[in-house]
Structure 1
């Protein structure tokens, strides 16, 4: 007897958009888990639309638990049907270290086709928070530690910036059309020569349901209140991978936070490095880890 036959006729069923909202897994990923790996088997309407029972949603949540432990998506199916007491495979079973190496190698070789493949694959198979925590944030940290001012390093940096600017920008465009959350201005701070952190922060915030107005170059502080007003923004999120100048951190940012009628928040390495300088100001530090930063953002600025 199949699962559909066992379900009572009055079992509530949920469309894919609602399942995505409840679990945080976007619809593209849900479809990939179904088609490529057979992890979930939703019912279908006569017109072919997917409908998910509560058991399906619970299964999605268990899939997330395994993925967050580092288990490759290709190995999750066999684990789902084991008793709940089944032990988690050793960390070596996870494929994230391998994916990180592949990503770095593709960038070093300037292999844009491979970079595209890895980007699309990661975001199709895994939730955005997992991709950022396990793949993109560690890779950016690794690259920034190794990059200098040599010609090859600059070329790699600019290539990755251009690649992510285009791909993340496209995702933001489509996500903003569906998002119902508040408008969030996302911008870099002036000392960071790269938009990598602000792009990753924008992707993370968009995945949480915010409508993102992204600036990949710093806004003059005198223009920020006008930008907040014109875009009807509910908050300003600044990101930086650098420590930023003492004058900016100790005087300009606190002064700007006092001028704004919405929260001024900061994330990325700067939020960790400058924590003590900003603890008695209205600048709200969300932390370096993007997933934790988004949790603090939602607590401060809920998405209804």
Structure 2
């Protein structure tokens, strides 16, 4: 039996890499949706390669709509074939609070095996944008609040940083080779206690189609224009979970923004904390969460 016998010649069929490009859902997630939940059922070539119809792609887009409304992937199947009037459960009705609690507990107990399992499970089942919004960013924010007074906080922070640095670096390496988007330079400000916010911003930027130069530490303030020029970046994004010192915010960052030939954006809690002091400058306040920041950057560019 051939595919041509089952599909008219004018019915297009799409390979998984093209479906991933069209929908923004990576191939690993598409396969997980098929195998674990039966959410999609692509055709197969005689050699076993998956081929998707336009109806499959529309179904994937409906799956994304439900996920973005807070529905757990395990509950999507029963909703897909319901009439359009069916409403999603109210926000918070999904399993994200439980996943956030488990991931935070894994970090606090330094249970790297459990952390790896939770991380890989989330990325296999949900698009990166959803994982950032519902899991990774809230976990980092809640952990940072608890780390202010907690014994062992530095060890927990460095463990999570190391865990994410390896995985984000691998993801950026492959994404940078696989797309043709503009380059961003992303790093953190001098008083940031670590790279957690810029790691999350790099994930959000890569997911949005940018190629990312992620610098592991801040440069001297005078070298940022050179970095933006030599690395051919369309913007410089600096992140921090801290307020940063007043002189840096009120004098050095506005001066840097004047010197740069590309926009200078701030991401993370610093963008909220210092908003009033930077409103009248050329520094672009991108927002506190990485995904909102990258969206704001796209509008600015």
| TM-score of the superposed pair, with normalisation by structure 2 | 0.93
Q: Please give the alpha-carbon distance, in whole angstroms, between the structure 1 residues aligned to 2:137 and 2:180.
A: 26
Distance 1:152 1:53, change over 3 A: same
1:38 matched to 2:38:
yes
Q: Please give the alpha-carbon distance, in whole angstroms, between the structure 1 residues aligned to 2:273 and 2:5.
A: 57
Contact 1:186 1:198 in 2 (8 A): yes
Contact 1:14 1:52 in 2 (8 A): yes
Matches within 5 A, 1:232-271: 232-271=232-271
Contact 1:148 1:154 in 2 (8 A): no
Residue matched to 2:165:
165
- Identify unmatched segments of 5+ residues in structure 2: none
Q: Please give the alpha-carbon distance, in whole angstroms, between the structure 2 residues aligned to 1:16 and 1:294.
A: 27
After the TM superposition, which of the residue ranges 13-22 and 260-269 deviates more from structure 2?
Answer: 13-22
Contact 1:199 1:216 in 2 (8 A): no
Contact 2:193 2:241 in 1 (8 A): no
- Post-superposition Cα deviations, 1:12-54, rounded to whole Å, max 9, x if no partner, equal 3333333223322222212211222111122234444333222
| TM-score of the superposed pair, with normalisation by structure 1 | 0.92
SS in 1 for 2:40: coil
Distance 1:147 1:52, change over 3 A: same
Provide the alpha-carbon RMSD of the alignment: 2.0
Q: Please give the alpha-carbon distance, in whole angstroms, between the structure 2 residues aligned to 1:273 and 1:54.
A: 46
Question: What is the deviation of 1:252?
Answer: 0.8
After the TM superposition, which of the residue ranges 206-215 and 28-37 deviates more from structure 2?
Answer: 28-37
Residue matched to 2:107:
107
Q: Please give the alpha-carbon distance, in whole angstroms, between the structure 2 residues aligned to 1:267 and 1:20.
A: 28
1:200 matched to 2:200:
yes
Question: What is the deviation of 1:283?
Answer: 1.2
- Post-superposition Cα deviations, 1:188-217, rounded to whole Å, max 9, x if no partner, equal 011111111010001110111111110121
- Post-superposition Cα deviations, 1:110-146, rounded to whole Å, max 9, x if no partner, equal 1100000011111111111111111111111111111
After the TM superposition, which of the residue ranges 144-153 and 73-82 deviates more from structure 2?
Answer: 144-153
Question: What is the deviation of 1:298?
Answer: 2.0
Q: Please give the alpha-carbon distance, in whole angstroms, between the structure 1 residues aligned to 2:270 and 2:70.
A: 27
Matches within 5 A, 1:167-186: 167-186=167-186
Residue matched to 2:75:
75
Q: Please give the alpha-carbon distance, in whole angstroms, between the structure 1 residues aligned to 2:220 and 2:48.
A: 50
Contact 1:237 1:266 in 2 (8 A): yes
- Post-superposition Cα deviations, 1:243-272, rounded to whole Å, max 9, x if no partner, equal 111211111111111111111111111111
Q: Please give the alpha-carbon distance, in whole angstroms, between the structure 2 residues aligned to 1:23 and 1:249.
A: 39
